[in-house]
Structure 1
Amino acid sequence: MLSRRAFLGLSAAALTAPAWPGFVTAAATPATFTLSLVNNSGSGTVYAYVTGTTPDNRLVLLAADGSPYYPSSPSGTLTPLPVDCAIPVGSGRQVSVPRMAGARIYLVTDSKLDFFLNPGPALVHPSFLNTSDPNFGRQWSFAEFTFNDTQLFANISYVDFVALPLGIALSTTSSGSKSVPGLPSGSAAAVASELSAQGSNWGQLAQTSNGRVLRVLSAHHKADQFAGYLDGYLDQVWQKYSGQQLRIDSQNPGLGVFTGTVSGGSLTFDNGESFTKPTTADVWSCDSGPFAITAGASLARKAIIPRLAAALNRTTLLANANQPDGEDPAQFYRNAQTNHYARIVHSRLPDNRGYAFPYDDVTPGPDFSGSVFAGDPEVLTVTVNAF
């Protein structure tokens, strides 16, 4: 199995979990799938935007009428998108989607979003960090997908933030149906309230406008406010594995199991891969410091990083030296200093499924990732629920 990060084209990470049942590799997918958009938001004004990269590496969006639109490179930066790509959802809408990778389905209530082009062309996506972005104060969110000749893979992600609640479902021609309900209505305000009650700087993750919660950011976007937060836990982990071995199962028959111990300040495995002690920011992001996957990284390193990063986000390394096989989901996030954003998000998910950090698909068995996938996709339904 490829991770969300690899399959969506967001990073070079791969091999993050066991092969999914039903993973299809033999037959080619159809040329298109149907995207069904459902409006349960309570707003009569909902728009969708679909954008990604074609198999021949071109930027593509769907225009308002559902037809593919391939932008030309503009002469300057921040050029307004010249074609209307706001698909009106109304009470419901269906469009046909061609193959594209690293794709997003944006949904917004009560107004349209503003997209821009930079030379390339490169699409300037809505920003949830730049307060001067015209989209900052609007209620929007997105689902992710990649659709290639092997399968359609789609997921709900809270890796960046919690905002407008979405659900996804996938029907197929012959391999059944799958669905992820996502967070229920009212979750942004509820998550913000629980984080505020947690104390420390957790309450600072909520973005508000006129006293109303717009969205709640993942902690890695405010990493500077959590400097040193996990130091005590990380010190205990490094001390523990100075005296015993840490076992990490790659969950790949071709790679096997790696064992490591701490020596000279680094966690070094029997295959030679070595990891310095990460910072809190490294743990939150999963892709900086020792968790950065650089060009030429071995398959072994690509397998160890997700499992080590996941165990540190869930703060289970002190309790379990057999990762991830010996993991008990009931023990996730039990340490006083842990990823409380991920803990609270998962506590509110009806089926406990949805990415709350980039390697949330690491698992001893149960699926926490909030993904749907199939080699014979027919209809992907995305439902926008009430904020």
Structure 2
Amino acid sequence: MITRRTLLGGLTAGAATAALAGRAAGAPVPRAAGPLPLHVVNNSGAYANTSVWIYVIGTAGDQQVHLTPDGRLAPVALADNGPDGFTDYAVPLAAGGTTTVNLSPMSGRIYVALGSKLKIKAVTDGNGRPALATPAGWVAGDPNYNVLHDSVEFTYDAGGMHCNTTMVDMFSVPISLRLTGAADQTTGTLKDGARDQIFADVKAAAGFDRLVIGDRRVIAPSHGLEAGLFAADYFAPAIDEAWSAYAAKDLTVKTVAGTFTGRTGGGQLTFHGPGTVSFAKPSTRDVLMCDGALAAPNDRIRGPIAAVLGSALNRSTLAGHATQPVTDPAAFYQAQRTHHYARAMHAATRDGKAYGFPFDDVGNFAAYVEDHAPKDLTLTLTRF
């Protein structure tokens, strides 16, 4: 299954963003991907269509591209920067009703901006090619810090459409996705009043309160840690507890490659099974970013085990459940010291699915949909 963790690097210059890529195992034989209608519906109740803009940016082949208002896919060019130093790649909504544009095959993000346009700069990447420095709403010095905005991720290719709503970096605007084709799927829809509830829940959680940035957004604790707004050792007691738990008993992890059995020793958690792999004790940053000691390469051994360990630490199930992954959501986020940001995101959605951290797809709990014969995609700004 394609997930947010199957990523294309280098989508932006100077900003931590990525896009879905690839094709799901078992997908039909690739076909030519023609234009796919993208419908944008503004049911926010807070902003008129004339105060909402979308931006479709990403990569096609080895080029960074953007969608023009007339539906063309155009390469990014440094000459697109205006007198203010930024591009204007905004696609305005129709004056009323639904706005429809056609998506061409590409991998990227659909940004939505409410009240003000985004400032997206064309720059040169490390290979000397035109690229984009996209919004980083978690960085106080970013030119879009005061703009209300959010995004979804997608890849549209010969294997179909793969897309998700994401809170991995931040949450600001309620957005749902409906993908029709071989099936009719919707994800990301918040419960009534859930935006306010997310802000309140994160604000009330010990250690998470500084992640709430006024009424604009809630930033993920991984970025809060980088900004000095979240404790760098927050998960240390939970990590120590989990490592201690398996010094004298087995930890069983089931993956697509088979079943692995692990024990801790010498600071390492070592697994044996279809292969042997060891993990150093991760840091709080590793847990939140699903990186470092928990980095998940695209292989059949280390990557899948890292994803299971990372999800279990974020969901506070690792120490107390000797068989992983845990698939009952009632067991998630039960510890006092847990990932309260991700907990709030999942509690807010109607289907219980969200991307609160990068390994949130483990167990199929991510706000992700795909279709190998897509007909159209609808992005809806739901009620604030």
The answer as to whether partners of 1:8 and 1:144 remain within 8 angstroms in 2 is: no
Instruction: Tell me what 1:272 maps to.
Output: 276
Alignment deviations for residues 55-108 of structure 1 (CA, whole Å, 9 cap, x no partner):
x2111101122222112345999984555433334432111111102x101111
Amino acid at match of 1:245: D
Give the Cα–Cα distance (whole angstroms) in 2 for the partners of residues 235 and 116 of structure 1.
43
The answer as to whether partners of 1:233 and 1:337 remain within 8 angstroms in 2 is: yes
Give the Cα–Cα distance (whole angstroms) in 2 for the partners of residues 78 and 307 of structure 1.
48
Residue 212 of structure 2 is aligned to residue 206 of structure 1: yes
Residue 320 of structure 2 is aligned to residue 319 of structure 1: yes
For residue 5 of structure 1, give the secondary structure of its aligned residue in structure 2. coil
**How much does 1:47 deviate?**
0.8
Instruction: Tell me what 1:48 maps to.
Output: 54
TM-score (norm 2): 0.87
Give the Cα–Cα distance (whole angstroms) in 2 for the partners of residues 99 and 29 of structure 1.
9
Alignment deviations for residues 1-47 of structure 1 (CA, whole Å, 9 cap, x no partner):
232220565779999xxx88xx5232425322111111112221211
Instruction: Tell me what 2:330 maps to.
Output: 330
Mapping for residues 11-26 of structure 1, pairs under 5 Å: 24-26=27-29
Instruction: Tell me what 1:358 maps to.
Output: 358
RMSD: 2.6
Residue 122 of structure 2 is aligned to residue 117 of structure 1: yes
Amino acid at match of 2:381: V
The answer as to whether partners of 2:87 and 2:122 remain within 8 angstroms in 1 is: no
Instruction: Tell me what 1:71 maps to.
Output: 76
**How much does 1:184 deviate?**
4.1
Highest relative contact order (Cα 8 Å, sep 6+), 1 or 2? Answer: 1
For residue 143 of structure 1, give the secondary structure of its aligned residue in structure 2. strand
Q: 1:12 to 1:117 in 2, by over 3 A?
A: closer
Give the Cα–Cα distance (whole angstroms) in 2 for the partners of residues 307 and 77 of structure 1.
46
**How much does 1:281 deviate?**
1.6
For structure 1, which runs of at least 5 residues remain unmatched after alignment? none
Amino acid at match of 2:258: G
Q: Given the alignment, which residue of 369, 372, 376 partners 1:375?
A: 372
For structure 2, which runs of at least 5 residues remain unmatched after alignment? 10-16
Instruction: Tell me what 2:141 maps to.
Output: 132
Residue 200 of structure 2 is aligned to residue 193 of structure 1: yes
Q: 1:12 to 1:321 in 2, by over 3 A?
A: farther
Alignment deviations for residues 349-380 of structure 1 (CA, whole Å, 9 cap, x no partner):
111012111111101xxx31111111111110
Amino acid at match of 2:369: V
Amino acid at match of 1:373: E
The answer as to whether partners of 1:192 and 1:205 remain within 8 angstroms in 2 is: no
For residue 306 of structure 2, give the secondary structure of its aligned residue in structure 1. helix
**How much does 1:228 deviate?**
2.1
Give the Cα–Cα distance (whole angstroms) in 2 for the partners of residues 63 and 75 of structure 1.
12
Q: Percent identity, please.
A: 32
Q: 1:11 to 1:82 in 2, by over 3 A?
A: closer
Instruction: Tell me what 1:178 maps to.
Output: 185
Alignment deviations for residues 301-346 of structure 1 (CA, whole Å, 9 cap, x no partner):
111111110001001112211111x532101010111101111111
Q: Given the alignment, which residue of 289, 293, 298 partners 1:290?
A: 293
Amino acid at match of 1:349: T
Give the Cα–Cα distance (whole angstroms) in 2 for the partners of residues 75 and 158 of structure 1.
29
Give the Cα–Cα distance (whole angstroms) in 1 for the partners of residues 366 and 69 of structure 2.
31
For structure 1, which segment, 228-237 or 264-273, has the greater mean C-alpha deviation from structure 2 after superposition? 228-237
Residue 7 of structure 2 is aligned to residue 3 of structure 1: no
The answer as to whether partners of 2:165 and 2:188 remain within 8 angstroms in 1 is: no
For structure 1, which segment, 216-225 or 158-167, has the greater mean C-alpha deviation from structure 2 after superposition? 216-225
Amino acid at match of 1:310: S
Amino acid at match of 2:246: Y
Instruction: Tell me what 1:168 maps to.
Output: 177
For residue 4 of structure 1, give the secondary structure of its aligned residue in structure 2. coil
Q: 1:352 to 1:76 in 2, by over 3 A?
A: closer
TM-score (norm 1): 0.86
Alignment deviations for residues 213-268 of structure 1 (CA, whole Å, 9 cap, x no partner):
10001111122522222222211211111111111111x2xx21111110111001
The answer as to whether partners of 2:88 and 2:120 remain within 8 angstroms in 1 is: no
